Amino acid sequence: MLTSLIVKRRHRFPWPALLAAALSPVFAAPPPPSTKAPHPSAPVVRAAGMTLEIRSDRVVVTEVAKGSPAERAGVRPLDVLLSVNGRSLVDLDPISPQQVLALLQYEQTLRTRILLGRGSGTLSIDLPQDPAQVWTAPIAPAELHPGMEAPLFSGLDLNGKEVFLKDLRGRPVLIDFWSSTCAPCLKAVIPIRRIADQHDGALRIVGVSLDEDRKAFEAFVYNHHLPGIQIFDGGGWRGPIARLYGVAQEGIPHYVLLDASGRIAAIGDLKDLEDDIARLAAPQR
């Protein structure tokens, strides 16, 4: 795992070229994938002898190389990936190329556990991990900007309850990326609590921790009385939500403000977002 670095104002780390995983497994069989040929610009991921593409908002196996680990494990074309190492790939509505690339992870493990959907049933397989293998894709997650729909994610709060970003629509949401080892994040605790009190009931705050140690995450939340929903991303700078939002390119603390419809209203420093927060959280007339 990567180690956080403290600089004068922000943590910095290069955006990794690997793919990340998130969410809990979902075992319901998905609808049959489309058999139409994908658009030439459709995202493609290749690993363990499989070629994966997005069809009908699902991650579908389109090719299996002969003699590959995938073929030996029993993977077939038109199988649908439901989860990888317990991480769901079917929980997003609809799934986007950027979310696929951010939710598949290359993990340093001896074997990769994959749950496949085949027809009305499911199949669990183990793929041996080739240390020389790298998951590849021709495109990177899109750059986030105001006006676009915020990438969807879910995570477990301090009580172990799964929180879905899409369920928070109806009020503006401030997503706060932080870490207990980040000195600027500590300085931001007082203003974030002030904003939470000032807009209580009109603004939702979702904190996403880049800590690698869950105990450090929990201690920071409790000791500093962080407001709102606090989520442990679980992978540091390589965590699935952090990757989905390109946090390694921006550094922390990092804030993304969403309007009540779930679209990005503003991105940046907390002090630069206060006017936008006040505007979005103001009572509607």
Contact 214, 232 (CB under 8 A): yes
Residue-level pLDDT at 99: 55
Residue 57: per-residue pLDDT: 72
- Please tell me the total number of residues recorded for the chain in this structure: 285
d(CA 60, CA 109): 23
Tell me, what's the pLDDT at 262?
94
CA–CA dist 38, 45 (Å, integer): 13
Per-residue CA distances from 226 to 63, 143, 206, 219 (Å): 47, 28, 10, 10
CATH fold label, 154-281: Glutaredoxin (3.40.30)
**Containing H/E element for 72?**
helix 69-73
Distances (CA, A) of 70 to 34, 52, 84, 170: 21, 12, 13, 43
* Domain regions of the chain by residue span: 18-139, 154-281
Q: Which residue carries 């207990």 as its tokens?
A: 180
- CB within 8 A of 195, min separation 6: which ones? 174, 203, 205, 270, 274, 277
pLDDT given for residue 94 in this prediction: 56
Please, are residues 121 and 29 in contact by the beta-carbon 8 Å criterion?
Answer: yes
Residues 6+ apart with CB under 8 A from 253: 10, 176, 177, 178, 182, 184, 185, 188, 269, 270
Tell me the CATH number of domain 18-139, given options 2.30.42.10, 2.40.50.140, 2.30.30.20, 1.10.580.10. 2.30.42.10
Per-residue pLDDT in tens (0 to 9) along the chain, 285 residues: 333 333 334 443 333 333 333 323 333 333 444 333 434 444 566 667 788 887 777 888 898 888 888 888 889 999 998 887 676 777 655 555 555 555 554 443 446 778 899 888 898 887 765 443 433 333 335 578 899 999 888 888 888 888 899 999 999 999 999 999 999 999 999 999 999 999 999 999 999 999 988 899 999 999 999 999 999 987 788 788 888 888 877 789 999 999 999 999 999 899 999 999 999 998 876
Q: Name the amino acid, one letter, at 79.
A: D
How far is the C-alpha of 227 from the C-alpha of 241, rounded, in Å? 19
Fold match flag (18-139 vs 154-281): no
Whose CA is closest to 109, among 89, 126, 88? 126
Looking at residue 37, what is its pLDDT?
A: 40
CA distances from 215 to 8, 23, 26, 32, 240 (A): 25, 20, 27, 42, 19
| Residue 224, both tokens | 């500093």
| Type and span of the H or E element at 165 | none
